[in-house]
Structure 1
Amino acid sequence: MQASEAADVIEAMSDNLKSNPAQFHLQVSAVGQKNVSYGGTAQSVTATGGGPGSKTTGLKVTASTGDIDIANRAADEAIAGQVNALCDELTALAADLRSSSPNARSRLSKIGSMWAPSVVVAAVQHLVGAAGL
């Protein structure tokens, strides 16, 4: 495989990620609780359980859908930033492969150290290797 052919495939991967960044499904779950107040309205936490004579009590914690929507929006923005950074690095790698003296190993190292689906990293490593770099 020629370096320019590897560059074409890597650039197509970058274009595909840009056009459909939500193609990788991320599932996030939280276990436990955190109650923080910075002088404004805080979460209401009430001790419950442990009837008369019991040594067992617990906390009743509620979160509104507004809290969840804010967290989802922040997570979506963070992931979008990571996907954009990955696309930029893939595009830079493709340009590097088309140069007269490509230095693909340093770009591969950077891609390997950032957030990237493992299938993307493996495919890019294979393409660079197949191009003899």
Structure 2
Amino acid sequence: MNKVDAQAIVESLIDSICDSPDQFHIHVKVVGQSITSNGGIGQVVTATGGGPGSTTIGQQVSVSSGDVTLANQKANRALDEQFGALVQSLNTIKEQLASSSTDVGLVEQVYTSLKNTWVPGLIISVLGTALSASLGIGI
């Protein structure tokens, strides 16, 4: 594999991330309960269950989307920043691969900075294979 081939692979990774960021699905599930009483008699609990003869009994709790909007916006901002940093790192590698005087040390440093982070293993693996084959970096 030559540098042009590796550059094409990095470009396809960048395009995929930019065109379809929802491929990185993050599912957050929070289980717990917080009760606040500001006077009065306290909390009124109505038991819910599975019907006659059922051993299932508990509370039914619901949360509206308005209760988590602020946290959701902060998480989205953080994810946008992380994706921006990933794309910037990939662009740095792509530019070095396109250069006639590739700074192999810089490429290796940028690649290493992505390893053991949130970046999906598939991206790290494909990128590492392309860099190893095109630049001879022992990754």
Establish whether TM, by shorter chain, passes 0.5: yes
- Counterparts of 2:80 and 2:36 in 1: how far apart (Å)? 32
- Counterparts of 2:22 and 2:5 in 1: how far apart (Å)? 26
Residues 109-133 of structure 1 deviation map (CA, whole Å, 9 limit, x = unaligned): 1111543111111111111111122
Aligned residues of 1:4 and 1:98 also touching (Cα < 8 A): yes
- Give yes or no for the alignment of 1:83 onto 2:83: yes
Cross-structure match for 2:104: 102
Residues 74-130 of structure 1 deviation map (CA, whole Å, 9 limit, x = unaligned): 222211211111111011111122231432211111111543111111111111111
In the alignment, structure 2 segments of 5+ residues that lack a partner are 46-59
Aligned CA RMSD, in angstroms, stands at 2.6
Q: Structure 1 segments of 4 or more deviating over 6 A?
A: none
TM-score by length of 2: 0.68
- Counterparts of 2:97 and 2:43 in 1: how far apart (Å)? 62
- Give yes or no for the alignment of 1:25 onto 2:25: yes
- Counterparts of 2:116 and 2:88 in 1: how far apart (Å)? 14
TM-score by length of 1: 0.71
Counterpart secondary structure, 2:68? helix
Percent of aligned positions that are identical: 27
- Counterparts of 1:126 and 1:72 in 2: how far apart (Å)? 35
Aligned residues of 1:86 and 1:114 also touching (Cα < 8 A): no
Residues 18-67 of structure 1 deviation map (CA, whole Å, 9 limit, x = unaligned): 1221121111112335x6xxxxxxx7455567xxxxxxxxxx97644212
- Change in Cα spacing, 1:22 to 1:111, as seen in structure 2 (3 Å) is same
Cross-structure match for 2:132: 129
Cross-structure match for 2:121: 118
